[in-house]
Chains A and B, each alone.
Chain A
Amino acid sequence: MDTSLLLQLTLNGLIVGMLYGVVAMSFVLIYKASQVVNFAQGEFLLVGAWVCWWFLTEWQLPFYAGFAFTLVFMMLFGLVLQVVVLRPLIGEPVISVIMATIGLGIFFQALMKWIFGVFAKPFPPIFAMEQVRVLGLEVQTVYLASLGVSLLIMAGFGWFFKASKHGLAMRATAFDQQVAQSLGVSVPKVFAMSWAISAVVSAVAGVVVGVVNGVSSALSFYGIKVFPAVILGGLDSILGAVLGGVIVGLLENWAHYIDSQWLNWGNMFQIAPFYGLVLILLIKPYGLFGTKNIERV
């Protein structure tokens, strides 16, 4: 048994899992506020990463400026998407809305390929040192930074929902739109805001992954990875999303370890999270933290 490899992979799993958690959170945000399952979440990462790449390479902006511009762009992107595409669909059957988000996903996937090409492109180097040693383990500096950013975003979400006016309004809207309106909350505004925040947060994750692996359409695969995470955690729980993300990250890396040490099947890490998903759903059908829908007849 290779203990140091196991440790290394566990650490990787935690860090990548936190990133999944961040994307899962932004997915849950939209679901909670507007009951829309957003199948274009992965494309938010993709668009964010390409836009940031474009600012850094074509405009030669320093990283922080380019990153900040990217976030502003993504905020507008989320707002426009909600107002133009999703607002007219309010009140339509769930399946139509889901189809619309799938369509959006395909559209942006293709648009990005059209504009930026089909090959992965690397980010210019951002940190002076590519890797640092933590407790005897090699860790990519970007991953460490991403861990910090993930924690920051999570703390931000926590504060937002607990203490801010708009966070409270969002929770109220998620619970009962009619009542929230009667208390002066503008539901369309809440929806638009949830899409904007979700796009921004996803873009942060997109940029982090882009810096590590280069930007390519493979990024949108995160949108699919996030499904086991959110369903594990229970579709409407922010905390569950984070935990689900971490579990998926760990499962992937442990599966990778088992595979590389004994089984040698290859690619087992890609399906391991889904096995975990099936197992947990057998025991807890609403996910770890999901709300049980009790119907009274």
Chain B
Amino acid sequence: MSEETPDLAPILAAEGISLRFGGVRALTDVSFAVRRGEIFSIIGPNGAGKTSMVNCISGRYRPTQGQIRFDGQDITRLGPNRRAALGIGRTFQNLALFGHMTVLDNIMVGRHHLLKSGFLRGMLYWVGGAQKEELAHRREVEEIIDFLEIQPVRKAVAGTLPYGLRKRVELARAVALKPKLILLDEPMAGMNLEEKEDMARFITDLNAEWGMTVLMIEHDMGVVMDISHRVMVLDFGRKIAEGEPDAVLAHPEVRRAYLGEDALEAEPVEA
């Protein structure tokens, strides 16, 4: 948990986001803002539209209505690669490593928009500045590798690694982008307790020491309540609550969504 209060200016603002696939409403008029420097989590039951929301932010989906602003710029119409170059990194719910490439190559792809050497300059590898540039990048990449504790597997082919390590490599690849905002789609799904604790530590360190704003989807409520500064709850594509973890947990709508209406009646909530 980081102690300092996050800067209040939003780094990401979503206004009135609706997303429809034919007759299916994945998201309906969702507005929220992520403040610079905070860990912001989106929770909700399965099918609530969490991943759809993240896909709208990363550019994989284009919202049917609404506007997304990042760092003061309207990015609603930008393609995913342009958004990545602006500083939005992401990981995927289902592992999405380049399985046949080494860990190092995977991470280097994450550097893509930072590597300036074009094709011709690359040809003049030893003559031009490419080598110097490469060294600087290597140093930063090594820093990321150290931080995520994946040194022993840096040369390994990504597809051969065990699950928990792959999740970490995927995080390393997203971090290599040097994003201002990192979107984590279920970073702890399928992990055991120890792996979850490691991952939670990495996320809080990324936030506190590397200064990255984190937007996370996670099912493990313990972790979410532990490390998030603020939480938003989606249910059937609508926002039903937003705020600090404790307040959100106590929210009657949230209790209804999670525990069912009957439970709410049997056990009314104070506050």
Interface positions of A (Cβ within 8 A of B): 163-166, 168-169, 171-172, 175-176, 178-187
- Tally chain B residues at the interface, Cβ within 8 Å: 31
- Using a CB-CB cutoff of 8 Å, which residues 64-99 of chain B contact chain A? 79-81, 84-85, 89-90, 92, 96, 98-99
Among A183, A185, A186, chain B packs the most CB atoms within 10 A around the CB of: A183
Contact of A182 among B80, B100, B101 (CB under 8 A): B80
Please tell me if the beta carbons of A169 and B84 are within 8 angstroms of each other in the complex: no
Please tell me if the beta carbons of A175 and B85 are within 8 angstroms of each other in the complex: no
Q: How far is the CB of B51 from chain A (nearest CB, A)?
A: 13
B132 at the interface (CB under 8 A from A): no
Q: What are the 10 A-B residue pairs with the smallest beta carbon separation, nearest first? A: A184-B84, A184-B113, A181-B80, A165-B115, A179-B96, A172-B109, A175-B98, A186-B81, A181-B81, A184-B85
B79 partner residues in chain A, CB cutoff 8 A: 181, 186
Rounded to whole angstroms, the CA-CA distance of A54 and B101 in the bound complex is: 43
Which residue of chain A is the closest to B105 with respect to CB atoms? A168
A182 partner residues in chain B, CB cutoff 8 A: 58-60, 80-81, 84, 89-90, 92
Please tell me if the beta carbons of B98 and A184 are within 8 angstroms of each other in the complex: no
Please tell me if the beta carbons of A176 and B60 are within 8 angstroms of each other in the complex: no
Which residue of chain B is the closest to A181 with respect to CB atoms? B80
Subset of 8 A-B contacts with CB under 8 Å: A165-B112, A179-B98, A182-B81, A182-B89, A184-B85, A184-B112, A185-B81, A185-B112
B52 at the interface (CB under 8 A from A): no
Please tell me if the beta carbons of B84 and A171 are within 8 angstroms of each other in the complex: no
B81 partner residues in chain A, CB cutoff 8 A: 181-187
- Using a CB-CB cutoff of 8 Å, which residues 111-134 of chain B contact chain A? 111-113, 115, 117, 119, 122, 125
Rounded to whole angstroms, the CA-CA distance of A187 and B84 in the bound complex is: 13
Q: How far is the CB of B144 from chain A (nearest CB, A)?
A: 14
A165 partner residues in chain B, CB cutoff 8 A: 111-112, 115, 117, 122
Decide: A175 near B177, CB < 8 A? Known: A164-B122, A183-B110, A184-B85. no
Rounded to whole angstroms, the CA-CA distance of A186 and B117 in the bound complex is: 16
Please tell me if the beta carbons of B177 and A184 are within 8 angstroms of each other in the complex: yes
A179 partner residues in chain B, CB cutoff 8 A: 92, 96, 98
- Using a CB-CB cutoff of 8 Å, which residues 166-187 of chain B contact chain A? 173-174, 177
Q: How far is the CB of B91 from chain A (nearest CB, A)?
A: 9
A168 partner residues in chain B, CB cutoff 8 A: 105, 108-109, 112
Q: How far is the CB of A157 from chain B (nearest CB, A)?
A: 13
Please tell me if the beta carbons of B84 and A181 are within 8 angstroms of each other in the complex: yes
Rounded to whole angstroms, the CA-CA distance of A191 and B119 in the bound complex is: 15
A163 partner residues in chain B, CB cutoff 8 A: 122, 125
| Majority SS at the chain A contact face | helix
Rounded to whole angstroms, the CA-CA distance of A179 and B106 in the bound complex is: 11
Please tell me if the beta carbons of A169 and B98 are within 8 angstroms of each other in the complex: no
20 additional A-B pairs beyond A165-B117, A184-B81, beta carbons within 8 Å, are A163-B122, A164-B122, A165-B122, A168-B105, A168-B109, A168-B112, A171-B98, A172-B98, A172-B101, A172-B112, A181-B59, A182-B80, A182-B84, A182-B90, A183-B89, A183-B112, A183-B173, A184-B84, A184-B177, A185-B112
Rounded to whole angstroms, the CA-CA distance of A187 and B111 in the bound complex is: 16
B174 partner residues in chain A, CB cutoff 8 A: 183
Q: How far is the CB of B136 from chain A (nearest CB, A)?
A: 14
Please tell me if the beta carbons of A169 and B109 are within 8 angstroms of each other in the complex: yes
Among B89, B90, B105, chain A packs the most CB atoms within 10 A around the CB of: B105
Rounded to whole angstroms, the CA-CA distance of A171 and B108 in the bound complex is: 12
Rounded to whole angstroms, the CA-CA distance of A185 and B89 in the bound complex is: 12
Rounded to whole angstroms, the CA-CA distance of A187 and B82 in the bound complex is: 11
Rounded to whole angstroms, the CA-CA distance of A182 and B83 in the bound complex is: 8
Contact of B177 among A164, A166, A183, A187 (CB under 8 A): A183
A172 partner residues in chain B, CB cutoff 8 A: 98, 101, 109, 112
Rounded to whole angstroms, the CA-CA distance of A201 and B98 in the bound complex is: 27
Q: How far is the CB of A163 from chain B (nearest CB, A)?
A: 8
Rounded to whole angstroms, the CA-CA distance of A107 and B84 in the bound complex is: 40
Q: How far is the CB of B53 from chain A (nearest CB, A)?
A: 15
Q: How far is the CB of B43 from chain A (nearest CB, A)?
A: 22
Rounded to whole angstroms, the CA-CA distance of A165 and B176 in the bound complex is: 14
Rounded to whole angstroms, the CA-CA distance of A164 and B99 in the bound complex is: 19
Among A166, A171, A182, A185, chain B packs the most CB atoms within 10 A around the CB of: A182
Q: How far is the CB of A231 from chain B (nearest CB, A)?
A: 20
Rounded to whole angstroms, the CA-CA distance of A93 and B177 in the bound complex is: 33
Rounded to whole angstroms, the CA-CA distance of A181 and B78 in the bound complex is: 12
Contact of A175 among B84, B99, B117 (CB under 8 A): B99
Rounded to whole angstroms, the CA-CA distance of A180 and B110 in the bound complex is: 9
